[in-house]
Amino acid sequence: MNGKYNIAIGFFTLSEFMAYGFLLIYFRDFAPDKVEWINSYSTGKHFESRLAHVHGNLFAFLNILIGYLLLHFSKELKFIKIISWLALIGLLMPLGILAEIYFGFPPLLVLIGAVSMISSVIFLGYSFIKINIKTA
């Protein structure tokens, strides 16, 4: 795990949550019960689905960025495997929100994903503080 999978899985996840965003647009603009959907804008499944969409795209993009940085600075950074895995596990947060909405799962996946993504970013920041980057 040197960042390559973060980039690949990040792009796949980004495409899935972009498609999910189009589904949300369908619910808002074209579904037979669109008025009910619009009226529940800030509550319940509607609100949770928007949270999943936003965090799914954000965490996918973070995986792409983290993966790129891990590949680019692989010789200088420490904790590469830990950072990579934690960022990938972080994708459980938006997936956990969807699992709550559609399957009634408890919020455990959301919490695991959130802690993992935050931890990966902290480890990456710490790793960057510890390296000497020579500029031209």
Model pLDDT for residues 86-106, shown as the tens digit of each residue:
999 999 999 999 999 999 999
Distances (CA, A) of 79 to 1, 53, 113, 133: 11, 29, 19, 17
Tens digit of each residue's pLDDT (9 = 90 or more) over 7-52: 999 999 999 999 999 988 888 888 888 787 777 777 778 788 889 9
Domain ranges of the chain: 4-130
Query: How much is the pTM?
Result: 0.90
